[in-house]
């Protein structure tokens, strides 16, 4: 059958099982947009291409399928850049399709020409420029394969306008994909599995560090089995949240810069760290020279380039961690680490007195109250998408996730403006989910134009703005490390209630602790999208905090009785 390049794009998307594309049209991608009308794929018309890339990522992270974004050449393509970088840093599988100027004008500074494959080379897992229609099907298939296999990541396909307009006799090519040099299917050696078993058997103070890889590999069950059989406590990275049930007795909570104090102390005192699908980010380790000094380390990792990158390990099990865990669990001897767990519990006990939930009610509304109430009122069942800043850390601490893929946040790039579009993508992936955005007053304004997308699509998302009148996380650094000189962090925001109403959505404002639960219930019960502007304490800080590059056990703790900086178990 005869097909144009524009049609081949959609034929390939249909073959890949794509149901939704997030995009924005323009001249160089017009042939593709014209062909779109004849294919059974829903197009979500975003308000800014950055939103399209974040939506594709939110979609991917909510359901595990590849998310797709589409944009025109030049400014359309460059607007995708932040979203692509975000997807690379957090290993999310997305495919971005961009239109490019006619192939004969490439290199002549043609109207809206930009070298998007050059620009995105360092922030894509792979990218392609297609100038011959005969390459198009192969490239589209490879793009999806690369995005979803091995360590997932973003792939960009830039397609010249004349390729979209050309036509050929066409049939879908389903020959096996051949990419010499690309090895997404590595497996650990059996001698390494044996060595891991021995190290696990010998450990007296083991800790599992569960990361995003657990979710990407779908190894929640295998992790649970492994942790229970070896009686090993589980700490999570920010992106690992949901990989192990928060309500499980072996769950410790989040590690790292804003991790729980007892988790960081347990890591520092451990004699075996089992790093499972995590990459020892600097927010996780603090000073690597003093990181877990007594611990042997085993790294379950699919990407060999991550091994010994930040932290030197004693053993690496390279391959899909689910398979490695299965292999190990089959030969495990049950262990009892009761003494070690009791010791961690002892450290945990003293932290409770610093928890804002347990401090006397001073009549003020703290962000932690809002998030804790969202957790309670949604029965812990919501799919929560956060922005970046203090509210993000409080959400990690106070919304306890028992289920996987229920917490989506920008970790590695820390992209303000991520939450609203990512939540829209997540809602398309899981329409039945109770999706909550938790965003700061600053970050929300970066992509709030996507409220119009919500209104146009008629979808329901609940939005909580944790409004502290500051770029709170930066203000906190200024408070701790820059003598409270608040340069460019106090912020006057628009009336968010009116902003919601201007889009035909519902807005509400909460200023008192007693009003929080009712407002959350109201949002849940309303048919359409409700935005709640929570006016919280302006100068609260996230505790504990390991100063950047500091030792993991030296945390700034919430001041109680004039105690500020503490270490070990004081
Ligand atoms: C303001 C702010 C504060 C932060 N504070 C903290 C903090 O206190 N604590 C914290 O933990 N994080 C924090 N972060 C997030 C931090 O920057 C990192 O994004 C996060 O720690 C990375 O988690 P990860 O290593 O689990 O996930 P990723 O960065 O996604 O890495 C996943 C790893 O798993 C591997 N992998 C993927 N699939 C598989 C598979 N199938 N099998 C085996 N391996 C696989 C990948 O190759 C990769 O190495 C913060 C971020 C921000 C913006
Ligand atoms: C695009 C972008 N610009 C700047 C930053 C630096 N930054 C990190 S957190 C933060 C403050 C966020 O403020 P807000 O959205 O109000 O959230 P809060 O910390 O107050 O909860 C800033 C400016 C960033 N992460 N992303
Ligand atoms: Mg703020």
pLDDT tens-digit map of 202-259? 999 999 999 999 999 999 999 999 999 999 999 999 999 999 999 999 999 999 999 9
Span 57-76, mean pLDDT? 98
Q: What is the dihedral of CA 151, 154, 155, 161, to 10 degrees?
A: 170
Predicted confidence at residue 560, as pLDDT, reads: 73
Q: Which atom of ligand 1 is nearest to the CA of 389?
A: 1
Whether the per-residue pLDDT at 359 is higher than 90: the answer is: no
Q: Which residue has the tokens 């192990």?
A: 244
Asked about 111 being catalytic, the answer comes back as yes
The pair of structure tokens assigned to 217 is 């590999």
The predicted structure's pLDDT at residue 399 = 97
| Residues within 5 Å of ion ligand 3, judged at the Cβ atom | 440-442, 468, 472
Query: 300 in ligand 1 pocket by Cβ < 6 Å?
Result: yes
Query: Does residue 566 surpass a pLDDT of 50?
Result: no
Query: What pLDDT does residue 266 have?
Result: 98
Ligand nearest to the CA of 415: 2
Question: Which residue minimizes the CA distance to atom 29 of ligand 1?
Answer: 90
pLDDT range class, residue 360, cuts 50, 70, 90: confident
Residue whose C-alpha is closest to residue 159's, from 71, 34, 35: 71
Ligand 1, closest atom to CA 278? 25
Ligand 2: residues with CB < 6 A are 387-391, 414-416, 440-443, 466, 468, 470-474
Confidence of residue 126 (pLDDT cuts 50, 70, 90): very high
pLDDT at 561: 55
Assess whether pLDDT exceeds 60 at residue 569: no
Concerning whether 49 is annotated as a catalytic residue, the answer is yes
Stretch 261-275: mean pLDDT = 98
Which among 104, 111, 202, 346 is annotated as catalytic? 111
Which ligand 2 atom sits closest to the C-alpha of 392? 21
DSSP state of 178: -
Distance CA 204, CA 195 (A): 16
Bridge partner residues of 3 (DSSP): 168
Taking the C-alpha atoms of residue 193 and residue 189, their distance in angstroms, rounded to an integer, is: 7
Q: Which atom of ligand 1 is nearest to the CA of 320?
A: 42
Q: Sorting pLDDT into bands at 50, 70 and 90, what band is 563?
A: very low
Calculate what percentage of the chain has a pLDDT beyond 90: 94
Full-model pTM: 0.97
For residue range 192-201, list pLDDT tens digits in order: 999 999 999 9
Q: Is 140 one of the annotated active-site residues of the chain? A: no
Distance from the alpha carbon of residue 416 to the mean position of ligand 2, in angstroms: 6
Cα-Cα-Cα-Cα torsion 100, 105, 109, 110, nearest 10 degrees, comes to -70
Phi, psi of 133 (to 5 degrees): -60, -25
Residue 486 CA, ligand 2 centroid: distance in Å:
14
Q: Are 102 and 469 in contact (CB under 8 A)?
A: no
d(CA 185, CA 375): 39
Ligand minimally distant from the alpha carbon of residue 467 = 3
CA Rg, the chain, in Å? 24
Q: Which of 11, 49, 142, 260 does the annotation list as catalytic? A: 49
Rounded Cα distance between 370 and 375, Å, is 9
- pLDDT of residue 95 exceeding 90: yes
Cα(98)–Cα(268) distance, integer angstroms: 47
Beta-strand pair 296-301/315-318: parallel
pLDDT at 356: 76
Residue 185 above 60 pLDDT?
yes
Lowest mean pLDDT across 166-175, 379-388, 518-527, 553-562 = 553-562
Q: What is the mean pLDDT of residues 18-32?
A: 98
Query: pLDDT band for position 351 (50/70/90)?
Result: confident
Whether 57 is in the pocket of ligand 1, judged by its Cβ within 6 Å, is no
Residue nearest to ligand 2 atom 20, measured at CA: 472
User: 519: pLDDT confidence band, cut at 50, 70 and 90?
Assistant: very high
Angle between helices 516-525 and 367-377 (to 10 degrees): 40
Kind of pairing between the strands at 154-160 and 126-130 = parallel
């Amino acid at each position: 059958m005869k097909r144009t390049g524009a049609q081949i794009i959609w034929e390939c998307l249909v073959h890949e099982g794509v149901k939704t594309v997030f995009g924005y049209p323009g001249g160089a991608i017009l042939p593709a947009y014209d062909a779109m009308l004849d294919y059974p794929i829903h197009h979500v018309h975003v308000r800014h291409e950055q939103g399209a890339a974040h939506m594709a990522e939110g979609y991917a992270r909510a359901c595990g399928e590849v998310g797709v974004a589409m944009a025109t050449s030049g400014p359309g393509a460059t607007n995708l850049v932040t979203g692509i970088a975000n997807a690379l840093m957090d290993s999310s599988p997305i495919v971005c399709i961009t239109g490019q100027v006619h192939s004969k004008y490439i290199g002549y500074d043609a109207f809206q020409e930009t070298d998007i494959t050059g620009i995105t080379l360092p922030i894509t897992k792979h990218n392609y420029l297609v100038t011959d229609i005969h390459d198009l099907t192969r490239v589209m298939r490879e793009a999806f394969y690369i995005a979803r296999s091995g360590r997932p990541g973003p792939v960009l396909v830039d397609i010249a306008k004349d390729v979209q307009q050309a036509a050929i006799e066409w049939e879908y090519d389903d020959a096996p994909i051949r990419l010499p040099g690309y090895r997404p299917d590595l497996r650990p050696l059996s001698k390494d599995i044996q060595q891991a078993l021995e190290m696990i058997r010998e450990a007296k103070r083991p800790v599992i560090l569960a990361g995003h890889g657990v979710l990407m590999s779908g190894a929640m069950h295998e992790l649970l089995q492994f942790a229970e059989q070896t009686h090993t406590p589980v700490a999570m990275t920010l992106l690992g949240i949901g990989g192990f049930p928060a309500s499980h007795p072996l769950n410790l909570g989040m590690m790292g810069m804003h991790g729980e104090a007892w988790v960081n102390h347990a890591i520092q005192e451990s004699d075996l760290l089992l790093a499972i699908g995590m990459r020892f980010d600097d927010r996780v380790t603090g000073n690597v020279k003093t990181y877990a000094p007594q611990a042997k380390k085993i790294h379950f990792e699919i990407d060999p380039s991550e091994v010994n990158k930040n932290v030197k390990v004693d053993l690496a099990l390279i391959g899909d961690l689910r398979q490695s865990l299965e292999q190990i669990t089959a030969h495990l001897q049950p262990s009892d680490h009761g003494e070690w767990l009791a010791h961690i519990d002892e450290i945990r006990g003293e932290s409770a007195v610093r928890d804002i939930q347990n401090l006397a009610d001073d009549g003020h509304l703290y962000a932690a109250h809002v998030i804790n109430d969202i957790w309670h009122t949604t029965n812990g069942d919501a799919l929560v998408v956060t922005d970046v800043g203090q509210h993000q850390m409080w959400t990690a601490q106070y919304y306890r996730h028992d289920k996987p893929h229920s917490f989506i946040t920008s970790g590695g790039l820390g992209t303000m403006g991520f939450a609203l579009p990512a939540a829209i993508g997540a809602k398309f992936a899981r329409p039945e989910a109770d999706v909550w955005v938790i965003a700061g007053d600053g970050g929300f304004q970066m992509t709030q134009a996507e409220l119009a997308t919500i209104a146009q699509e008629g979808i329901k998302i609940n939005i909580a703005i944790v409004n502290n009148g500051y770029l709170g996380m930066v203000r906190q650094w200024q408070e701790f490390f820059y003598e409270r000189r608040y340069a460019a962090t106090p912020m006057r925001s628009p009336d968010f209630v009116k902003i919601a109403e201007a889009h035909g959505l519902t807005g509400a404002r909460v200023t008192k602790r007693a009003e929080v639960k009712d407002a959350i219930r109201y949002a849940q019960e309303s048919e359409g999208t409700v935005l709640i502007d929570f006016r919280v304490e302006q100068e609260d800080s996230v505790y504990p905090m390991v100063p950047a590059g500091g030792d993991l056990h030296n945390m700034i703790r919430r001041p109680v009785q004039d105690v500020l900086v503490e270490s070990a178990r004081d």
